[in-house]
């Protein structure tokens, strides 16, 4: 054994885009990190690294998950502080992409690192063999490439590349740390140019740009075809290039053309693009520059414009017709069969990119699963290349390539008329290079509803929710409605789930695999009810939700909620009513009802009060906690990470945080099982609240905001209703306010607001534009 048992301290050298972001993610995981860069200013020797941290604290989306995380980063410089790397278990090099500089740095690292410490490079293009030239045997066996994607907090992919001399146990430990602690999904890549994701991704971008130029279609048309219909983010390709920086294109092209063999298909499609060169020379490098293929023309009232690919001039943006029918909804066979430019463009991209990907296994990865994972997590594709081939049919792709006189990759021939993936006996399997199917094996501690669904049926379900047996006596409650919106059906299924779990199971986990846990109540439904003045229906939904959530809270078994992505409004209140939460680190939690002119109506007010009054950091007495909840809820605050959600009281200090998305269900299940023995539901809380006097104080604060233009006149009405609930309504300090009293106050305030046309206008605007109306 030649590596540290676990990683307790990390050093990142190079505090640029990647190094700073990697250091932040290490700190997000609660691990101390030393961030070093060169000395640029002799009077302020740590300025580069310290400046990078300061800049990150102002960056949006934030690299840090909390201010506390930022404090775990110690900054320094490579002249004065290299000796400190002796304390570090893992040293990550993320300096400029120059072999000579990397060599020089490794020599210095070698002099200071502990013999058991791992050293890795974040290089995108330099082969491992060249990086370790001239180093000792010990250094070489402790060296690997860890290729993070930008931005390191948000991109889930980590490609790990090892050499023949790499110490396997050490590599396993770093991979495990990256997975569990840093939350990255690790894909093992071979030591080839561009590794997996950039090799295929760069080819795909180039193919898409070329085809748009060749067919003479507009950038809007191109992105409408290459985006959503292919399961690619809706930026498509031109929008993506604007986002990452147009100046990166020639750089990537040069790097790959100079390192790939002459007969690599990329060489044939990499061609000069005078328009792109001109754009870069003129400072049109994309969103970070003066504009890109798209821009907002500030001189023309922020008009959206796009580049005319034939003239290179900007023109007003057009709305390209979206691809309709099955072809627009993921039926790729229909997409490539479309007549005219749409089908031709789709096939130009897919035919080239998918056959290229198929030709690269096993050159770049041992199997197709790694390739698909890399493209999904590194480029945010919904489906990997082999999953895309399956959507068309491997045989059909091969047939069309052959008919066009193009080479058919051996892997496509091997597949024949079979698919690359199949489900056999409830297990997902992939086609191996041996021509046989093999189970897709999940790492230990990874449990996915997606897999459970292959081998079982829901215990019960309706149109908005389903209940699944996830083993060991635990049941998962899944929201299944459009965007996981909450409605009467969700509440009804909670009602049915409780006796079922009580009778046959031990615990319940509220979990789903949507990109957002739930953005709250179904506003569309609410607006419909509003428009027909179905007040009784609305009141029923409010009361029904309160009842369902409290039934969960007082159920005779543990309930653990496990959010990832947005958990807003009613999606947050279900967390507040759970015994415990196991949250994905990337959870965005908040009570946002005031934004649409409402207040939390499913028990959120009382639960938040209960949490804050137990917070030892607040002064004694009822007012501090009331003021805290008022401040958070009246401003519709959303925590931008699970760590931040703890600061706002949406999560308890004891709630768990899972860094890796795919480990969330397993962690939540373990947390629920740990609560089973001796479980007793909580006792209903009783409050002493400040009453009318407290309400006046809160309203005064809002008037102050209004005077400074920070709150609108209707904000005053909405927060007045909230203040009424939080201060206990008619009750006074000497009275006891029960949980039921607070729920009744919530209902009353909610119903009063919902009848106000100004609330209705807010709801309507939110539904139509997704942005709040400030009336």
Residues within the interface to ligand NAD (CB under 6 A): 13-19, 37-38, 48, 78, 94-97, 101, 105, 122-124, 147-148, 150
**Is 745 exposed, middle or buried, given 0-12, 13-18 or 19+ CB atoms closer than 10 A?**
buried
User: Bridge-partner residues for 295, per DSSP?
Assistant: 305
Q: And the tokens for 142?
A: 């402790």
Measured from the CB atom, is 15 or 642 closer to ligand NAD? Answer: 15
Instruction: Report cis status (omega within 30 of 0) of the bond before 596.
Output: no
Q: In this structure, what token pair is assigned to residue 668?
A: 């939540």
The residue written with tokens 């992505």 in the block is 565
Least distance in angstroms from the C-beta of 82 to ligand NAD: 10
What DSSP letter does each residue of 49-66 carry, written as one string? HHHHHHHHTT-SS-SSS-
Give the separation between CA 302 and CA 284, rounded to whole angstroms.
16
- Which region holds residue 386: left if phi is over 0, alpha if psi is between -120 and 50, else beta? alpha
Q: How far is the CB of 187 from ligand NAD (least distance, A)?
A: 14
For residue 141 the two structure tokens come to 């066996």
Smallest gap from Cβ 378 to ligand NAD, in A, equals: 10
Which own/partner pairs from 695-704 qualify as long-range (CB within 8 Å, at least 24 positions apart)? 695/720, 695/723, 695/724, 695/727, 697/623, 697/627, 698/626, 698/627, 698/630, 698/723, 698/726, 698/727, 699/723, 701/627, 701/630, 702/634
Looking at beta carbons only, is 64 or 687 nearer to ligand NAD? 64
Residue closer to ligand NAD, measured from CB, 132 or 745: 132
Closer by beta carbon to ligand NAD, 51 or else 330: 51
CB of 523 to ligand NAD, least distance (A): 38
The Cα–Cα gap between 9 and 233 comes to 36
Nearest approach, Cβ of 223 to ligand NAD (angstroms)? Answer: 22
Complex with ligand NAD: residue 107 or 417, whichever CB lies closer: 107
Q: Which residue is nearest to ligand NAD (CB)?
A: 16
Q: Which is nearer to ligand NAD, 182 or 211 (CB)?
A: 182
In the bound state with ligand NAD, the residue whose beta carbon lies nearer, of 157 and 209, is 157
Instruction: Check if the beta carbon of residue 453 is closer than 8 Å to that of residue 468.
Output: yes
Choose between 37 and 593: whose C-beta lies nearer to ligand NAD.
37
Report the distance separating Cα 561 and Cα 581, nearest Å: 5
Helix segments in 664-756, DSSP class H: 664-676, 691-707, 713-726, 739-754
Terminal CA-to-CA distance of the chain, rounded, Å? 65
DSSP state for residue 178 in the 8-state scheme: I
Tell me the C-alpha distance between 339 and 328, whole Å: 14
> Which is closer to ligand NAD, CB of 145 or CB of 306?
145
* Pairing verdict, β 427-431 and 437-439: antiparallel
Q: Which is nearer to ligand NAD, 97 or 764 (CB)?
A: 97
Measured CA to CA in angstroms, residue 643 lies from 181, 183, 310, 639, 646 at distances of 14, 14, 49, 8, 5
Q: Could you tell me the smallest distance in angstroms from the CB atom of residue 126 to ligand NAD? A: 7
The Cα 513–Cα 448 span in angstroms is 8
Smaller CB separation from ligand NAD, 84 or 427: 84
Q: Closest CB to ligand NAD among 6 and 150?
A: 150
Least CB distance from residue 248 to ligand NAD, whole Å?
8
What SS3 class is residue 597? Answer: coil
- What lies within 8 Å, CB to CB, of 685 at 6+ separation is 606, 610, 739
Quote the least distance from Cβ 189 to ligand NAD, whole Å: 13
Q: Is residue 312 within 8 Å of 304, Cβ to Cβ? A: no
How many other CB atoms are found less than 10 A from the CB of residue 693? 11
The minimum distance between CB 48 and ligand NAD, in angstroms, equals: 5
- Secondary structure, 3-state, 96-138: CCCHHHHHHHHHHHHHHCCCCCEEEECCCCCCHHHHCCCCCHH
Minimum distance from residue 353 beta carbon to ligand NAD (Å): 21
Closer of 67 and 98 to ligand NAD (Cβ) = 98
């Amino acid at each position: 054994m030649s590596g540290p048992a676990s990683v307790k301290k990390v050093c990142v050298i190079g505090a640029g885009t990647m190094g700073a972001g990697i250091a932040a993610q290490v700190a997000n995981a609660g691990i101390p990190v030393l961030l070093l860069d060169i000395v640029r200013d002799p009077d302020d020797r740590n300025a580069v690294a310290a400046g990078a941290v300061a800049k990150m604290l102002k960056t949006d989306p934030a690299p840090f998950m909390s201010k506390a995380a930022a404090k775990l980063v110690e900054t320094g410089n490579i002249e004065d502080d290299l000796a400190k790397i002796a304390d570090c278990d893992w040293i990550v090099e993320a300096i400029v992409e120059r072999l000579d500089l990397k060599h020089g740095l490794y020599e210095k690292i070698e002099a200071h690192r502990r013999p058991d410490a791992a050293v890795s490079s974040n290089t995108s293009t330099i082969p491992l063999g060249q990086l370790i030239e001239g180093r000792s045997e010990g250094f070489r066996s402790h060296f690997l490439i860890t290729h993070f994607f930008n931005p390191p907090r948000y991109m889930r992919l980590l490609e790990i590349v090892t050499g023949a001399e790499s110490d396997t146990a050490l590599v396993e430990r770093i991979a495990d740390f990256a997975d569990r602690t840093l939350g990255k999904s690790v894909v093992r890549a071979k030591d080839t140019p561009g590794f997996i994701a950039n090799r295929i991704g760069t080819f795909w971008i180039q193919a898409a740009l070329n085809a748009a130029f060749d067919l003479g279609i507009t950038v809007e048309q191109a992105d409408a075809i290459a985006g959503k219909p292919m399961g690619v983010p809706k930026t498509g390709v031109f929008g993506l290039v604007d986002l990452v920086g147009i100046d990166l294109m020639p750089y990537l092209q040069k790097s790959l053309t100079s390192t790939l063999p002459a007969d690599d298909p990329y060489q044939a499609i990499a061609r000069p693009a005078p328009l792109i060169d001109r754009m870069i020379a003129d400072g049109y490098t994309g969103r970070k520059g003066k504009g890109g293929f798209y821009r907002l023309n500030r001189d023309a009232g922020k008009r959206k414009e796009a580049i005319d690919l034939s003239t290179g001039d900007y023109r007003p943006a057009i709305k390209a017709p979206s691809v309709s029918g099955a072809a627009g909804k993921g039926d790729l066979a229909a997409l490539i069969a479309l007549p005219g430019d749409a089908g031709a463009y789709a096939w130009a991209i897919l035919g080239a990119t998918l056959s290229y990907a198929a030709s690269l296994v096993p050159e770049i990865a041992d199997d197709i699963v790694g390739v698909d994972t890399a493209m999904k997590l590194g480029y945010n594709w919904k489906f990997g290349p082999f999953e895309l081939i399956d959507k068309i049919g491997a045989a059909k792709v091969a047939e069309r390539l052959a008919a066009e006189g193009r080479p058919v990759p051996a892997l496509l021939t091997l597949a024949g008329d079979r698919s690359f993936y199949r489900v056999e006996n409830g297990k997902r399997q992939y086609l191996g290079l041996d021509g046989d199917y093999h189970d897709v094996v999940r790492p230990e501690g990874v449990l996915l509803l997606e897999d459970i669904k292959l081998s079982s049926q829901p215990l019960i379900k309706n149109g908005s929710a389903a209940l699944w047996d996830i083993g060991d006596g635990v049941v998962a409650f899944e929201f299944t409605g459009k965007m996981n919106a909450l409605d009467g059906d969700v509440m009804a299924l909670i009602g049915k789930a409780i006796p079922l779990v009580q009778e046959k199971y031990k615990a319940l986990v509220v979990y789903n695999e949507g990109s957002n846990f739930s953005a709250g109540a179904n506003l569309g439904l609410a607006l419909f009810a509003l428009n027909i003045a179905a007040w009784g229906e609305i009141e029923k939904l409010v009361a029904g939700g309160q009842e369902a959530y409290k039934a969960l809270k007082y159920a005779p078994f543990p309930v653990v909620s496990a959010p990832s992505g947005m958990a807003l409004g009613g999606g947050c209140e279900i967390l507040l009513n759970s015994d415990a939460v196991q949250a994905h680190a990337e959870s965005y939690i908040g009570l946002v009802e005031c934004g649409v002119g409402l207040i939390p109506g499913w028990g959120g007010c009382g639960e938040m009060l209960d949490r804050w009054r137990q917070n030892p950091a607040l002064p004694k007495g009822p007012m501090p906690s009331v003021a805290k909840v008022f401040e958070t809820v009246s401003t519709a605050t959303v925590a931008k990470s699970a760590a931040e959600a703890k600061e706002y009281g949406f999560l308890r200090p004891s709630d768990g945080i899972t860094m890796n998305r795919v480990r969330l269900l397993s962690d939540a299940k373990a947390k629920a099982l740990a609560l089973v023995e001796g479980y007793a539901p909580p006792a209903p809380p009783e409050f002493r609240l400040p009453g009318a006097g407290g309400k006046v104080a809160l309203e005064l604060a809002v008037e102050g905001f209004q005077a400074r233009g920070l709150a609108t006149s209707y904000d005053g009405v909405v927060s007045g209703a909230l203040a009424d609930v939080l201060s206990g309504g008619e009750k006074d300090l000497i009275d006891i306010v029960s949980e039921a009293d607070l729920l009744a106050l919530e209902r009353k305030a909610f119903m009063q607001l919902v009848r106000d046309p100004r609330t209705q206008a807010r709801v309507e605007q939110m539904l139509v534009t997704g942005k709040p109306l400030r009336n």
